[in-house]
Each structure stands twice: as structure tokens, then as C-alpha cells.
Amino acid sequence: EVQLVESGGGLVKPGGSLRLSCAASGFTLNNAWMSWVRQAPGKGLEWVGRIKSKTDGGTTDYAAPVKGRFTISRDESKDTLHLQMDSLKTEDTAVYYCTTERDDDYVPYYYYMEVWGKGTTVTVSS
């Protein structure tokens, strides 16, 4: 069974750093496109960024509000995805979800977020 478990959330002061982890099981992380999505309290979903599979170049993309502050990486040996968050702001307070992105053999290149973790909560406050 494909499963994602996030960890690493917590309370951090503005300007601080935090590293989130997402442990994958039931599949090989290197072969997957992975995204981080966040949800501020009482708000909607916001895409944070993505890392493509190794075969697709392993490149990363980020949303404008986090570009230059957040970094997505993979630990191949542990099948774990990371989100390094630096220079945190109060507006980064949210539940952070990792998700797999996949397409379908019948509709290739039409990517969607298939498997989601339960999320980890990040609170940025002084």
C-alpha cells in the first residue's frame, strides 16, 4: 500500500528554519513526482513546490511566495522527501501535506495529486 507520513512540524519564530520530512512506503520515491501543498488555518489549498522523478530530470519548481526560501530534496537511501524552509514568515503558518503526482496510462501527462499524507503543522509565531 502506498503511504506517506509527514513529520518535522512545530513552532518556530519568524526568520527561523524548519525541515519537514515525508517518509514514503509502498513505492520508490525516486520514480515519483512529488509535491508539497499547504493549507493555512481556515483557508484553501496552496501548492508549495514539486520535485520531478529522477528519470524526468529530478528538477524542482516552486510557488512564488516560497521561491528562494524553501528547498525540496530527496534522500534516496531512506525513501524520504524533505522540505527545507528558511527565513520563515508568519504567513507560512499552515498544515503541510506531501503528495504523489502521477498521470494515467490512458491520459498521459495529465498529472494529478493521487496519494496524500495526513499533514504536519507548522506555526510561525514570536
Partner 1 sequence: DIQMTQSPSSLSASVGDRVTITCRTSQSISSFLNWYQQKSGEAPKVLIYAASSLQRGVPSRFSGSGSGTDFTLTISSLQPEDFATYYCQQSFSNPLTFGQGTKVEIK
What is the rounded distance in angstroms from the CA atom of residue 20 to the CA atom of residue 39?
A: 15
* Length reported for the chain: 126
Tell me whether residue 68 or residue 126 sits nearer to partner 1 (CB atom). 68
Tell me whether residue 77 or residue 109 sits nearer to partner 1 (CB atom). 109
Tell me whether residue 59 or residue 77 sits nearer to partner 1 (CB atom). 59
Dig out the grid coordinates for 10 from the structure: 512545530
CB of 75 to partner 1, least distance (A): 22
What is the rounded distance in angstroms from the CA atom of residue 27 to the CA atom of residue 111?
A: 17
Tell me whether residue 110 or residue 126 sits nearer to partner 1 (CB atom). 110
Q: 3-state SS of 62-75?
A: ECCCCCCCEEEEEE
CB of 95 to partner 1, least distance (A): 9
Contact 88, 14 (CB under 8 A): yes
CB of 61 to partner 1, least distance (A): 5
Binding site for partner 1 (CB under 8 A): 35, 37, 44-47, 50, 61-64, 97, 101, 104, 106-107, 110-114, 116-119
CB of 109 to partner 1, least distance (A): 9
Q: What is the arrangement of strands in the sheet containing 70-75, beginning at the earlier edge strand?
A: 3-7, 18-25, 80-85, 70-75
